Structure 1
Amino acid sequence: MTISLAVGEKFMRKFKRVMTALAAVAAVVLLGGTATGAAANTGWRHSDAALARSLPGGFQSSYADVNGVRLHYVAGGSGSPVVLLPGWPQTWWAFHKVMPALAERHRVIAVDLRGMGGSSKPQSGYDKETLAADIHALLAKLGYAKADLVGHDIGAMVAHSYGIKYPQAVGKLALMDVVAPDKSLYQLPLLPSAPGQFSPWWWTFNQLQGLPEQLVSGRSRYVVDTMIDQLSVVPSAVDDFDRSVYARAYYTREAVRAGNGWYRTLNQDIAAGSAYGKLTMPVLGLAGEFNHQYFVQVMPSKAVDPQVVKIAGAGHYLSEEQPAQVIGSLTKFLG
């Protein structure tokens, strides 16, 4: 009996080691990344609090209950407030290369939108005007009647709507590579007519009900890698660790569903945008190699007196691919 118990205990210890190893392998497969990337996904370095502390400028991770949701944000620095709004498939971490420099002159507040990262993921409220209302309520709770806004991708859509709905609450507004949705989106080709032609397949895919959750949950790293590799001039600028941060944020079924919510409201956003006038505050458009010419053409119809700056050598992920240029442009614009 004693021998049998000893053998049994030895077997159980070995069994637990094997299962732990298999779990690690499964994490690699599910995340679609390297062993290093998968390990980072399960490690302490991925907590928002740890990521915030890793940045110079005294950044801290916090939460606020506003407008019926809990928003996660990271704030640091001192001075006039600058709000940073990221897009899909990313989180506030998309601005981590520019936040410390901006914090030398401003109180920098990088926010996870409703449905993103550490923020709530409700069933509704993903139209850009509701998202703008979330940010307006957050700033009011933090004690700011007026702030500068910088938005990228989906965050730029929200910032644009914010500037229209709350012009008195905006000092200056910067839109990075995207503007508010309008009817021109209906003209984008889903099927490329020539090799290399732009085709925003994800705009349609993310509007499907149920299927993206089934396909992407547990496999978010594949989506993150595809988007960054397809839309970057310098894909390596968003490294394995950064990508694993984003993959972790969209890993669960609920996270995929919430992120897709920003796309499932596009018809509603286009209808709302059809009544928008021009932005009246100072507006800066930052665009990379792909969208610069589009910004030159479209920004005069979106703002009274816009500036447009090309971020050379960048694709869509401006603040990660060419952070020095983004810092220089924003510093000059914000003052």
Structure 2
Amino acid sequence: MTVSTIEIGLVIYPGAQLASVYGLTDLFGVATRLASRRPEQRTELAITVSHWRLQEPDLQPVRVFETEPRSRMIPDVLILPPALGEAPSAETANAYSPWLIDQHRQGTILCSVCAGAFLLGETGLLSGRSATTHWAHADLFAARFPTARLDVDKLVIDDGDLMTAGGVMAWTDLGLKLVERFLGSTIMAETARLLVIDPPGREQRFYSSFSPRLTHGDLAVLKVQHWLHATGAKDMRLAKLVAQSGLEERTMLRRFQKATGMTTTEYCQRMRISKACELLQTSVTPIETIAWDVGYGDAGAFRKIFLRIVGLTPSDYRQRFNSRGTVTSA
């Protein structure tokens, strides 16, 4: 039986995390071996992996490694892996932009993980498109690529010809998504089981923490923020916030959202839920007590807001992240 091959290329740019490059190489190799052992499959597909680096004198990325030679010059997929440290600069990213645009024009699916999205962003291809990156890079990404529709709650966004993944380790999720696309859901599930990793379905907001903007320069808004952090946002009454700011109500609301990117209600809720996450991770305190401690008299309302912001119920969050062993359920 003739085997059709799908080539997935991994771009090794300056600062790229090599662990993800080799990890994805292994993941796709495992998936291909599992697929080859299923004789009931009438259509045989295999994934080959290549590594690409920028080479002189042409300063054009070329294959520097391949698991199996192919006659086709254009890979089916290119992945821009995460970076360790700072996000790639515009200068670094622009060295790859013409090549990436040309590959995409010829039908290559472009993917990024974490800070790899900055290389993808410099191509302009994300303009008007949904994308994600590591939540810690959200402000910088939004500033550099304001026309992209950034959603850092999502761990993987599959937009067809463009795929983006959020956190540093989200390469496992992206890899499994690609296995599912090319080899099917059964092989994807078997690969995840063999490698003991979660199948796709997680969200980045499970792992993100509340990182408020405090360097915006609006001193009146900053005064409100400092008061909220000092009091744990226990008092969310608008009159209290307005009094702290020294501004008119409408002015305070407008300036607060401009400076922080959130309404006062959303800001306070995220502060409270962030504290609740910390307590769920590190204590065995009953959930009703935690709800009260962070400012919610109604545990039912707390659960609804927690689910909306985090994407998990408080009980599920505790089960996944608690470091204390046995916990008290409520």
TM-score (norm 1): 0.31
Structure showing greater relative contact order (alpha-carbon pairs closer than 8 Å, 6 or more residues apart): 1
TM-score (norm 2): 0.31
Q: Considering only CA atoms, is the larger Rg found in Structure 1 or Structure 2? A: 2
